[in-house]
Amino acid sequence: MKPEKLMEKLKGVLGSSYKIYPDSMKQVDGAMFLLAKKDKEKLLVVIGPSNVTGAFSGEYVGEVELKETKEKSKVKISERNHKNLMVLRKLLPWLNPSPCGKRSSFGTGDRLGIATPAHVKAFEGKKCFPFLAQQSVREMSRTGRNWVSVLDDTLWGVFESGYEGPFGADADHVKTIDDLKAAIVAGYTMFTIDPSDHVVDPKTVEKPMAEQIYSELDKEHGFSSRYLGKVYEIGDKKYTFEEDSLREVVITYGKAIDHVEDCYRLLKSENPNPFDLEVSVDETSTPTTPLAHIFIAEELKRRDIEFANLALRFVGEWQKAIDYIGNLNLLDDTLAEHSAIAKAFGPYKLSLHSGSDKFSAYPVFAKHVNDLFHVKTAGTSYLEAIRVVARRNPKLYRRVHDFALQRFETDKASYHVTTDLSKIPDLLEVPDTKLEKLLDEPNTRQVIHITYGSVLTAKGSDGKYLFRDELYETLCDYEREHYEQVTSHIRKHMELLGL
């Protein structure tokens, strides 16, 4: 049955208060599934025989003729909860995430859990594998979400959009074994291991302690006999591990690689499904040198750790929410070296973290990595949602802005930013019609970006959220505008990457 005809029939059952999402309508084995919205709440509509509708919790509201045979099919309204989603995933297998492999890929983290339809639209016509579910442990801790809720929100968004293609789910910046186990159980398909807690900055360690760290690691792994004096010819460059350079990379990354190995062994033993592995060493105080890159790649390969992506700390400043800060010529030169190393030891994809809004760096990055890349964005979709709030609900934006300024000094503790609060315009001097332009000002953008957790979880003395509910209500009222805003912004990223 054509969607238009079914929608007419459903109006008689559901009433005019329901808005149907036509793209979500899917017919499988004599049953129909779709998404509808009533009073700002999105609900699952299941139409079909009792053996199908009975698998979902909910309320029967009537019957419609789903087939031309005049047979009546029951109509049930169901909540968008985890149990109903798990049933739906069995009936609609394209709702299940899958591994990516070494295809070019792009991650669209969603801190609000409502932007997936916009993200799906952004990928239309782009030769790139989408990671539609992507959230870090830090982000979840700040928003009160977990692996299951993040994935569920994404899958409901995939269902709403009608998308039936492949996509991935990235358990991002996993630091502990316990978090890794929880992500496995939740059904993620990529695991980004962040061993930064095990990275050692040699400059911050007294010489006796540094010597002890090196001695213990060398005794366990035989690094000096394996690497000392070894020469690597890659492209037109030669790299040699001298005594000082070897000690530095071993002290810095030795324990981190041990941790990655522990995580990988756990994944292999406890995860029954194929998966992608990303190793992230981007959250360090200094850029990853070519020798360090070689050491990391050699060690991962020697230990039979199969990884698809490696996230390095590239030169320059990759601060949250704003464009790249640094010398693009130097970035060009170093990316050429890192790309050559990745091809020689892999090939594997180079992954770019803090990828949101790095517009000036994208063409340089794309020039060297070709199709072997992964890019992560997250906060930028939240910021574009806040832009819509500033445009459509200026009173709410002003409250959020003031609160964010109060929270910034506390919330920035786990980020490296050079935000200058004195450069943020006085809100009292900005008319409502110009509020959204504040999101183009780098310092304002960083303040709003970094304080997202506090804004979304803050409650008043009465126990009610200060901003969260009104933010969601505003974005619900202007849903199409919100989707279009996010889609356009994400597509700008992809186009500068040459997609």
Q: Is-contact 393 470, C-beta < 8 A?
A: yes
Report the SS3 class of residue 279. strand
The answer to whether 474 and 482 are in contact (CB under 8 A) is: no
Do you find a cis peptide bond into 49, omega within 30 degrees of 0? no
One DSSP character per residue, 32-48 reads: EEEEEEETTEEEEEEEE
Catalytic residue among 152, 218, 248, 278: 278
The set of residues, in sequence order, having a beta carbon less than 8 Å from that of 91 and lying 6+ positions away, is: 28, 29, 31, 33, 52
Q: Measure CA 283 to chain center.
A: 16
Q: Is 416 left (phi over 0), alpha (psi -120 to 50) or beta?
A: beta
Asked if 465 and 459 touch (Cβ cutoff 8 Å), the reply is yes
The catalytic residue among 110, 172, 179, 384 is 172
8 Å CB contact between 217 and 254:
yes
- Active site annotation includes 278: yes
294 near 119, Cβ under 8 Å?
A: no
CA angle 188, 193, 199 (to 5 degrees): 165
Q: How far apart are CA 136 and CA 212, in angstroms?
A: 33
Is residue 270 part of the annotated active site? The answer reads no
- Is-contact 361 328, C-beta < 8 A? yes
**165 alpha-carbon distance from chain centroid:** 18
Locate tokens 């805003």: which residue? Answer: 485
Compute the distance between CA of residue 374 and CA of residue 379 in angstroms, rounded to an integer: 17
Q: Which is nearest to 258 in space by CA: 313, 209, 221, 306?
A: 221
Give strand pairing partners of 215. none
Residue 346's alpha-carbon distances to 279, 283, 350, 366, in angstroms, are 13, 22, 10, 18
C-beta neighbour count of 463 within 10 angstroms: 6
- Neighbouring residues of 267: CB distance < 8 A, sequence distance ≥ 6: 180, 184, 191, 275, 277
Among all residues, which ones are annotated catalytic?
A: 172, 278
